[in-house]
Amino acid sequence: MVPPIERPVGVQRLSVLSEMNVGESGVLVGLNLPESVQNHLMHMGFVPDARVSVLRHAPAGDPTVYGVDGMEIALRRETAAAIRMQTLGSEDSHPRGSNLAIAEDSPDLLEAAQ
């Protein structure tokens, strides 16, 4: 029997929004998009430290509907692939400010994530 892999404490789990599954949530870390698209998304609530949830996929799989700041927004896969997220596990109960604890423990990790 293989022992379970233990995840180190204080390590951020980073991914892109397009890789997250329906039902998962995360905290927005950054947008890697043209400035005009960034501004448009930021006006809709895609700002740093915003909690984003994956709500559902279209029948063909693209676009996907995301929940942010009480709104439902559909994004194509290529747009969602440019949005960096810190995924939340069941132990993460308060997404806002969670970077503060990580920054105190490992400032290099926080800097690398940004």
Tell me the pLDDT of the chain (114 aa) as tens digits: 555 555 445 555 688 999 999 999 999 999 999 999 999 999 999 999 999 999 999 988 899 999 998 899 999 999 999 999 998 854 443 444 444 444 444 445 445 444
The one-character DSSP state at 34 is -
Domain ranges of the chain: 14-113
Q: Which fold has domain 14-113?
A: SH3 type barrels. (2.30.30)
Q: Which residues contact 48 (CB under 8 A, 6 or more apart)?
A: 28, 29, 30
Q: What is the pLDDT of residue 44?
A: 92
The pTM of this model reads: 0.66
Q: What is the pLDDT of residue 100?
A: 41
Q: What is the pLDDT of residue 12?
A: 58
Q: Where are the beta strands (DSSP E) in 1-98?
A: 14-16, 25-31, 51-57, 64-68, 71-75, 83-87
Strand partners, 54: 66
Q: Which residues contact 101 (CB under 8 A, 6 or more apart)?
A: 10
